[in-house]
Every structure is written in structure tokens, then in C-alpha cells.
Structure 1
């Protein structure tokens, strides 16, 4: 893995790009790859739709087969034409950005169209993309598994704890509203007598003390709930999965460090 990363970095270095521009190239390659994958899925769906809607009999005549292939050809050709047009227009927008930035510094950029068909450079780009996305896909797969495990653990805890914590949460909400009301009343009563102000202040302090008491009870209830939950088999299984995924992520980060140290 490390040797492949070093090879990919060296491949991009041969283009004469500095680190910033190399990252910009990588960003565009990832954008183009995502668009390509989406369009290929569309082509796949064209074939699947044909299978589901037309291939319902055991035998077909030559004319029926020709008709199905002609229809499929038209759909796939339209999809590919649309993608090629969109890719060309996207590249025009990319060139527009580059030339616009160059014009700010009074530069006149030139392009060598023949270099776009340089087989050696195209092979280097293909090799870099293959190496880069192979490592990225492996890391993203582990991160997705970790996220799913964490979400499942959170959902399991919520199901078991929501009912017990709901009553405490409602009580705290009511007390908070009471405190807010008393505070507003206290602020509006600054112009009344000192005796009235002291009375309101005492009520406010009392309400705050009651709020702290209920919050303390809620904290104790949450600790007790968490303690009971951690004793369940579901929690132990989820925690074991998360521990394994974290170890995998640490290993992958070590492998990717030489290729993408900033990330």
C-alpha cells in the first residue's frame, strides 16, 4: 500500500505540479469519477429495465430481438451522448475558471491540444487514479461501517432510555419556563419597592434551587440507566464492533500518512 502511494505521488510530480495544484487535480478527478459512476449506473438501469419489461417469454423472433436491441441502442446512445456533452461543457467551465484567474495577473495562457492525447501521460493519470481511489474506497468503507455501528448503538440506547428520561425532561422544561417567567417579572419590577424586589428574588432563587435538584436527580437517573444499558449483550456487541473499527481506522491512517499527510 505504501509503495503504491509513493508511486502515485511520483506520477503526479512528473506533471510538474506543486502540492496545491496536485490537490486541485485530485479534487477534479474525484468529481469526474463520481459523475462517471452515476452515468454508468444509469446505463446499467437501461439494461435491467429491458430485462424486466421485455424478457418475459422463453423464445423471441428475430424481428423481436432486433426491435429490443434497437430500442436499447437508442437509449444507451442518448445517455452516452448526454454524458459526453456534459463532460465537454464541464471542462469548458474549468478552463474558464483557470483563464479568469490568470487574467487577474495579466497572464496569457496557451493550451497544447495534442498533449490531450499523449498516451504516456494518460497512462500515468490512469495509474494515479487507480492507486488513489483504491486507498480512498478502503478507508471510506471502514468509516461507513463505524458510522453504522455508532448509529445502531445510539438508537438502541434511545429506545431503552427515552421513556425513563421523558418525565424528568418535561419537569426540567417546566421549571426552566418558570425561572424564565420569574426572571422577566424581576426585571420589570426594578421600579417597585425594595420589599417586592426581595420577594421576587427569593422566588427566583428558590426556583433555581429546585431546578438544580431536579437536574441532579436526572443525572443520577441517566447514570443508572447507562449502567444498566452497559450490562446488556447488545451494548457489549456494539462496543466490540466499534473497537475493531477504530483499530482498522488507525491502521489505514498509518498507511495513508505517507501519501496524504495533511489529511
Structure 2
């Protein structure tokens, strides 16, 4: 409403300036002939016609761009919108819009009328509402999986907080549950099925990434453990024990009878 009000005021000021320009440039004599008056009015009509036509075209195109934004958002969520062109000429509704504009933009402190009836959009049908709920749940689940992947990356190399096998099982259970949830809406429509399958594939990819991260972390942990002082000390102790056992066997062999 503010944008339309601004453009309308700009157009009216332009029309006023056309009349003022005619007064300043042509009305410099006291008397005019019929032909002169006709010529001035024709010229004024041409200028005003051009200005008003340009503004009407711009308003139409602006409304098209606004509706295009709304329809694009609705198409993204597979919403079904209904329009009633006859309502655009409903005198009662037009008067309500005029009253709303008057109450909103008046310079006085008068508050908007509480009796103004504001038409509302029709509610979504049951299928559309269910789809929005499913889509929201799928996005939430995807966000949780992404957070789990980031947490796994942060704890790589930390043996105490290392991700256990049960965490992978939990992720697999989540994927299985999400798959069951998706399958309930596969029969709604072809578009809904494609949307849900894409989310399922993305979730599976996230699971594969987590499994790959787990495998890499296990290898890195084993490599780091072999490089620790405790591992080297244990290895040296085992080597010494093996040498001692060999010496003992040599000594015992002296006392064993020959075949």
C-alpha cells in the first residue's frame, strides 16, 4: 500500500506539472483564438495521456512481478492456489481497502477501524498441510544428521570421546525410520514422491559420509596409538621377555637327555 500510494502521488504530481508548464509557456497573452485554444488543449491531452498510460503500464507490470514472487514460493511447496477475478471488482471490498488506506495513512491520530473485514486466504487442503509437515520433519532430520557429522569431525583423535558402533546403529535406525515416514506419502503425487526421495538420498549420503569419517578416525587412532610411548615401552618389554625365554630354553636344553 505504501509503495502504490507513493507511485500514485508521483503520477499526480507529474500531471499537475503538465498543466503548470502549459500555463507558464503558452498562457502569456490576454486573448486567444479558437484554434490556439484547441492546439493547446490537444498538446496538453497528448502529454497527460502519455504520462497516465505509462503509469498504468508500470503498475500492471509491477503487480505481475509481485504475483510471480508469490506463485514461485507456492510452487516450491507444491501448493494449490485459487483466485477469483470477480472479487477484484467487488465494490464493498474496494471500499474496505480505501477505508483501510485512509485509516493507516491519515495524518491524524485516529486508529484503524476494528470493524474492517480483512479477507483471508483459504486454508491449505489436507494433502498440502501433510506435505508441509513431512517436508519440515525431513529438513529437521537432515539438520540433525549434519550436526552429528560435525560433532564426529570435532572428536577425531580423542580416544575417550570416540564414536562407538552403537552410534552408527542409531544413525541407521534414524534413516530406517525416516524411510518409513517417507513411504507413507509416496502415493500422494508424483511431485511429492520425487521430493521425498531426494531427501532420502541426501540422508543416505550423509550416513555414508559418517561411516567414512568413522573408518578414517579408527585408522588414525590406531596409528596414533602405535606412536605413543606406552605402545613402544610395551613392545620393548615383549622383546626382552622373548630374549629371556630363549636364554632359558638354551639352559634347559643342557639338562635334557639326548635321543
Could you tell me the TM-score, scaled by structure 2's length? 0.42
| Larger-Rg structure | 2
Could you tell me the TM-score, scaled by structure 1's length? 0.41
Q: Which gives a bigger RCO, structure 1 or 2 (Cα 8 Å, sep 6+)? A: 1
Q: Name the structure with the higher helix share.
A: 1
